[in-house]
Amino acid sequence: MKERKIILAEREIPRKWYNVMADMPNPGSPPLHPGTKQPIGPADLAPLFPMPIIEQEVSTQRWIDIPEEVLDVLSLWRPTPLFRAYNLEKAIGTPAKIFYKYEGVAPSGSHKPNTAVPQAYYNKISGTKRIATETGAGQWGSALSFACAKFGLECTVYMVKVSFQQKPYRRIMMETYGSKVMASPTNTTNSGRKILEQNPDSTGSLGIAISEAVEDAATHDDTKYSLGSVLNHVLLHQTVIGLETKKQLEMVGEKADVLIGACGGGSNLGGLVLPFVPDKLGGQKIRMVAVEPSACPTLTRGVYAYDFGDTVGLAPLVKMYTLGSQFMPAGIHAGGLRYHGDSPLISQLVHEKMIEAVAFSQLDTFEAATLFAKTEGIIPAPESAHAIKGAIEEGKRCSRENKSETIVFNLSGHGYFDLSAYDDFTNRELVDLKLSEDELKRTLAALPQI
């Protein structure tokens, strides 16, 4: 029998996170205050985040201990399995070996609890009573709701209105974990009211929901803010994915030639690839590929510049690939990939040509997703389908070049809450939404002058 699953014992859960900041080839650009445009310090972030998180955000220590209390919760589903995708390989007729790390076994169905749990923990030990956050498709909101329930914290979720209406099951999941969920823009914050005044029918965006959650945290003493992607500490927490993957590949005597992840804010991609950065810097031939939707092509068509993390301009300015903070992504089903910006760490590594980026259309990714479902069985999250499409294209390249490379992709989550999107695909109601050059010019013209 062929071995499909490479399984680590529970005692092999990583005990430390890997911090790529210790090994970045060049120093990064500091985040700036949105008002003064001067570099910010820990004191500026203190209204939003507890101190242990702020310390991790700026830390350059290579290995950071994972607290026992966090490991205890992570062990509910970690280590996660690494699969050899024999069936997919056969279906596309590639000589390549394709592996996928499956993060969908987590309680809320994606990689996001890997950071939600430590964030809730550090808030708990710092005296926080409530966490405010935003969610797009609902993956992050569900993960944080679960984590807050584990550590006895209240949780308020500003959910992008279009998703709130389209994805009632995600809302129900968050409410089951005990969270309060509101459709953003709301009329409970100044940011939300400002947007509604301009456009009463606004269906919301991640940028707007972030503004609301940040304002909520900044104006309540017992409340902090939490972000599920983009920031350095989030990528740090996600490195358990790549650290486990490395061990699993060693167990079967493999070395990755290509690592692939879908990229929204960069956390599941970073989680997979960052632990391999020292190998690459040490001379190992290993490609890292970020896959994004052509409807929100931040890395492939955006610019590398300082921009606001949110729509209203309350969040710090960070240097990243961006489509402009006024960018309104088309209503594609990969809600987690609809952010105008990207992780500063991933952006820098793309800028320095350590990581490559490609974009695929919605229809192409759903085609890849259904091939994966029919062959490997798991119905993937629409976000993860981008990584699958990336892996299939690499597999086809290996066929053309007659190479038997080892391709590893991150299957960041399952799609069992996204079935209406599959319904639309099956009924041929899904369309490709491309970003026009004019629209891009308009949103990039509004970038802040730094």
Q: Which residues bind ligand PLP (CB under 6 A)?
A: 110, 112, 139-140, 229, 262-269, 336-337, 381, 383-384, 412-413
Whose tokens are 């990689």? That residue is: 111
Q: 255, 237, 236: which is closest to 245 by C-alpha?
A: 255
User: Is residue 128 within 8 Å of residue 50, measured between CB atoms?
Assistant: yes
What angle (nearest 5°) sits at the alpha carbon of residue 339, between those of residues 333 and 345? 130
Contacts of 264 by beta carbon, 8 Å cutoff, 6+ apart:
229, 292, 334, 336, 337, 338, 339, 383
Instruction: Give min distance, CB of 383 to ligand PLP, in A.
Output: 3
Task: Count Cα atoms within 13 angstroms, Cβ side, for 431.
Answer: 5
DSSP characters over 104-121: TTSTTSBSTHHHHHHHHH
| C-beta atoms surrounding 69 within 10 Å | 15
What angle (nearest 5°) sits at the alpha carbon of residue 36, between those of residues 32 and 38? 40
How far apart are alpha carbons 140 and 148 in whole angstroms?
12
Cβ-based burial of 310 (10 A; exposed 0-12, middle 13-18, buried ≥19): buried
Instruction: Give min distance, CB of 267 to ligand PLP, in A.
Output: 3
- Spell out the alpha helix ranges (H) of 160-256: 161-166, 168-176, 190-198, 206-218, 232-238, 240-251
Complex with ligand PLP: residue 263 or 392, whichever CB lies closer: 263
Instruction: Give min distance, CB of 373 to ligand PLP, in A.
Output: 15
Instruction: Give min distance, CB of 244 to ligand PLP, in A.
Output: 16
Cβ-based burial of 337 (10 A; exposed 0-12, middle 13-18, buried ≥19): buried
Task: Count Cα atoms within 13 angstroms, Cβ side, for 240.
Answer: 32
Complex with ligand PLP: residue 256 or 299, whichever CB lies closer: 299
Complex with ligand PLP: residue 196 or 373, whichever CB lies closer: 373
The two beta strands, 97-102 and 82-84, are: antiparallel
Instruction: Give min distance, CB of 217 to ligand PLP, in A.
Output: 20
Q: Which two tokens stand for residue 292?
A: 């994004």
Complex with ligand PLP: residue 98 or 337, whichever CB lies closer: 337
Instruction: Give min distance, CB of 387 to ligand PLP, in A.
Output: 8
Instruction: Give min distance, CB of 415 to ligand PLP, in A.
Output: 8
Complex with ligand PLP: residue 124 or 389, whichever CB lies closer: 389
How far apart are alpha carbons 239 and 16 in whole angstroms?
9
Complex with ligand PLP: residue 407 or 411, whichever CB lies closer: 411
| Buried/exposed code over 341-366 (b: 16+ C-beta within 10 A; e: otherwise) | bbbbbbbbbbeeebbbbbbbbbebbb
DSSP characters over 278-322: HHHHTT---EEEEEEETTS-HHHHSEEEEEESSSSS-SPEEEEEE
Complex with ligand PLP: residue 44 or 49, whichever CB lies closer: 49
Instruction: Give min distance, CB of 331 to ligand PLP, in A.
Output: 16
User: Is residue 381 within 8 Å of residue 104, measured between CB atoms?
Assistant: yes
Complex with ligand PLP: residue 153 or 346, whichever CB lies closer: 346
Complex with ligand PLP: residue 124 or 207, whichever CB lies closer: 207
Complex with ligand PLP: residue 267 or 325, whichever CB lies closer: 267
Instruction: Give min distance, CB of 142 to ligand PLP, in A.
Output: 9
Instruction: Give min distance, CB of 307 to ligand PLP, in A.
Output: 17
How far apart are alpha carbons 318 and 212 in whole angstroms?
19
> In Å, how far are 163, 204, 340 from 330, measured between CA atoms?
13, 11, 11
Complex with ligand PLP: residue 71 or 296, whichever CB lies closer: 296
Instruction: Give min distance, CB of 232 to ligand PLP, in A.
Output: 13
